Amino acid sequence: MPADLNDYFNKKGGGKKSSGGGSGKPTPPNFLKDFSKKTGLLYLLMALIVLFVIAKPFVIIESGEVGIKATAGKYEPEPLGPGFHVFLPFIQTVKIVDTKVRSINYTTKPNDNIAFGRETGVRNASAITALDKRGLLISIDITVQYRLRPETAPQTIATYGFSWEEKIINPIVRDVVRSVIGQYKAEELPVKRNEIATQIREGIEEQIEKKKGHPVELATVNLREIILPPKIVEQIERVQIAKQEADRVKLEVERAKQEAEKKAALAQGDADARKIRAQGAADAIKIEAEAKAYENTKIGESLTPKVLTLKQIEVQGKFNEALRTNKDAKIFLTPGGSVPNIWIDAKDKEKTTSVSQ
């Protein structure tokens, strides 16, 4: 015990010796004995807290991640989902892997390199070079999006390690692109772009599915650019210009044909109009003639003997009237059908009249 405490207890004890004939040292109070015990427990608790902080036997897994627990270096087959998890320090470890969608941009732009990390999930890689059907060198810019399958993540990491992208995605994408491009001639690539993009996606999916445990899910494949050799580009441009010129000539020929057909249609319309007008006039004449013939027929049918007798009586009356006016008249009878024409020639020419019916 410290000297100051001994002095304190000696003073409090008045220098009295114990009845037992002891050494005469004073006995500390009970509250100090309790304090000493609590201090020991406090030190022990503090030591445990420090050990807990240093060892950190827990992990918090966020959404879009899974934890892979390893016991004595062996990965457990079941992944740890999002949440709080405890493990045994120094015996167990938990590795966190990202299961969100990740992207690789295969690009010809070297200045756009982005470090691949847990936060971004995006990185750039060099463009894929491939040979076409004739051996010409082609560059392909393409973006591939994918994600690690959470349920098989422990087996994938155990098989391929944490650099699984470089062992699964990158070689598959490059091999498939080169295989597809090799089936076409360089000048065919821009024309059959959509067909080629579909073949690349299907090829990548097929190769990933062949991997044991199907470790990766393919999200999208975007064929961004096909970079052709300069000579092929010039050849395609010449073909395009010739095609555009042919299309222009074809359009002009079509317009001329339409204009000719329009003029022919107008001329035919005018001819048809004149024909219709002529036909209308002929029909009108025919109708008029038929009406006149019909009228004459009806008139002829109406000349009955009684009507003719009446007409003769009327003519006779006019004849008698003429004779009364000019008794010296000469009378000439000319055939005029059913009723004759009667000419009266008087001596006085001014009184010459004709009576007809």
Q: How many CB atoms lie within 10 A of CB 273?
A: 10
The C-alpha angle with vertex 72 and arms to 69 and 76, in degrees rounded to 5, equals 35
- What is the pLDDT at residue 310? 74
Q: Does 22 have pLDDT greater than 50?
A: no
Using alpha carbons only, how large is the chain's radius of gyration in Å? 63
CATH class as words, domain 102-228:
alpha beta
322 or 139: which carries more pLDDT confidence?
139
- Rounded to two decimals, what is the model's pTM? 0.56
Q: Does 134 have pLDDT greater than 80?
A: yes
Instruction: Report which secondary-structure segment, H or E, holds 198.
Output: helix 193-210
Q: Which residue has the tokens 């990740």?
A: 102
pLDDT digits (tens, 9 = 90+) for 110-127: 654 444 444 678 889 999
Q: Does 138 have pLDDT greater than 90?
A: yes
- pLDDT bucket at 132, cuts 50 / 70 / 90: very high
85: three-class secondary structure by DSSP: strand
- pLDDT bucket at 340, cuts 50 / 70 / 90: low
Which amino acid is it at 46? Answer: M
Give the distance from CA 32 to its chain's centroid: 84
Q: For the chain, give every domain's residue range.
A: 3-55, 58-98, 102-228, 230-302, 305-355
Q: Average of pLDDT values for 77-94?
A: 88
CA–CA separation, 30 and 65 (whole Å): 56
Q: Does 209 have pLDDT greater than 70?
A: yes
pLDDT digits (tens, 9 = 90+) for 228-274: 988 888 887 887 787 888 888 888 888 888 888 888 888 888 888 88
Q: Tally the residues of the chain.
A: 357
CA–CA separation, 200 and 143 (whole Å): 11
Q: What is the dihedral of CA 15, 18, 23, 29, to 10 degrees?
A: -80
- What is the pLDDT at residue 100? 93
Q: What are residue 221's phi and psi, to 5 degrees? A: -135, 120
CA–CA separation, 150 and 97 (whole Å): 9
Q: Does 10 have pLDDT greater than 60?
A: no
